Amino acid sequence: MIFNLNAPAQDDSLTINKTTLTTAIITESVLYAGMISGLRYAWYKDVSRVPFHFYNDNKGYLQIDKFGHAYGSFLESKICYEWLRKAGVSKKKALLYGGTMGIVLQTPIEVFDGLYEGWGFSWGDMIANGAGSLFLMSQEALFDDQLIDFKFSFRRSSYADASNGLLGDNQLESLFYDYNGHSYWLSFSPSNRIPRWVNVSIGYSANGMYGEFRNFTSYKKVPLPLVERHRQFLLSMDIDWTKIPADRPFLRKLFFALNHIKLPFPALEYNSLKQWKFHSFYF
């Protein structure tokens, strides 16, 4: 963990807004409880409990799920940190108690995985969770800003349509099961000579996956297409909504929420099949 122990004295003398702080704690607790309950229902409802065990999935899904863990941890840490700062908590304490919340909130999920058949406690996931929190904390500590934003985009892939339900039967199910549709982005301002809200994004995705480590040839007795798994490296444009001036609190909250999703833009792709592709509209 990185934070500035020599923060200015006035940073620790901010007035605590007890109402905002209480609202933040209660809201985060309720949402987290709901998320855990939802995940247990979605992932484990028909799965047998087993003794706690470990699982090495570092090569699974071409590491797309690791990017997902890092993104989730980054997002949770960012929301908690910003909310604590809004409540008047000093930067040092907000980094300590809010910036670490990504890994704190993700750890119970890993423990649940260790208790169910077909999953397991993954040290790779834990490292990704820690990286997401550290990405937020280090930027705030060093630059007092997020110079590089971590973003996500999703579209249900064509592979899902041919999967006979393996990758989900609808958009919501595919969000959890269709890793072919996940893309993760690092967005930043390339120059001080252009408006700061104009960003460049470097992205990572993967396609051709009908299984975690290798592709299944069939699912529920229906043959699956024979495709080659491959990685995709992407270059695109984006918008940093938080750098757009907004006087109204509602707009600031809306822009903060929008800034975690990569906007659809044209994109240039290079993949591990040694192909270059241009997408006129990529999401």
Mean pLDDT, residues 16-40: 69
Give the ranges where the chain is alpha helix by DSSP (H).
18-44, 64-86, 91-97, 101-113, 123-143, 158-161, 171-177, 249-258
Q: Is 138 left (phi over 0), alpha (psi -120 to 50) or beta?
A: alpha
pLDDT in tens, 166-202: 999 999 889 989 999 999 999 999 988 899 899 999 9
Across the beta sheet with 148-154, the strand order is: 148-154, 182-188, 198-207, 230-239, 265-271, 276-282
CB atoms within 10 A of CB 82: 17
> What is the reported pTM?
0.87
pLDDT in tens, 70-119: 999 999 999 999 988 888 889 999 999 889 999 988 898 898 889 888 88
Which position has the higher pLDDT, 44 or 37?
A: 44
Structure tokens at 206: 């993967």
Q: Which of 31-45, 119-133, 250-264 has the lowest mean pLDDT?
A: 31-45
